[in-house]
Amino acid sequence: MAKSTGLAWTTLNVGDSSNASTDIRNDVTSLNFSTPRGVQDVTGLDKSAIERLLTLADFSITLGGVFNPATSHVVFATVPSSAVNRMVAITTNGKNLNLGSAGASNGAVLFTDYQVSRAQTGELTWSAPGVLGNGSIPTWS
């Protein structure tokens, strides 16, 4: 199997407040996502090292990009005024991160903020952090 780069991302779609899916790859300049698992300490008095069990799965994402009033801003502008799970579709190098069923009523991610920043040099950028909101276990396929 060949190693891969993160160049030429295949899919990065995010739903707006009505979960209309929008391809925002052209506006996104950076992203970070994780799929951590919780752990429960079950160490008994008879152990000399920690014993743990895996518990709930989770997902978090932070997207960052260049302000575009016609695309990414339309998707994220309603974050402060709506409380909906949004569909997020991620595909890179032929691998899909599945976050539950895609569709208008099956969004998986709650975006918790939409931060817009203007640098001293004039760049207008944004950042949008999100967390798992629907209880679906993130899986790769």
For residue 104, what pLDDT is reported?
A: 39
User: For residue 67, is pLDDT > 90?
Assistant: yes
Using DSSP's 3-state secondary structure scheme, residue 21 falls into strand
pTM confidence score: 0.88
Q: Please tell me the predicted confidence (pLDDT) of residue 107.
A: 76
Any idea where the domains of the chain sit in the sequence? 11-140
Alpha-carbon gap, residue 21 to 124, rounded angstroms: 24
pLDDT at position 25 over 90:
yes
User: How much is the pLDDT for 1?
Assistant: 63
Token pair of 19 as six digits: 């979960």
Q: According to DSSP H, which parts of 41-116 are helical?
A: 72-76
pLDDT tens by residue, 73-122: 999 999 999 999 999 999 999 999 988 754 434 579 999 999 999 999 99
**pLDDT of amino acid 106:** 57
DSSP 137: P
22-26, 64-68, 95-99: which has the minimum mean pLDDT?
95-99
Which residues partner with 117 through β-bridges? 125
| Three-class DSSP category at 86 | strand
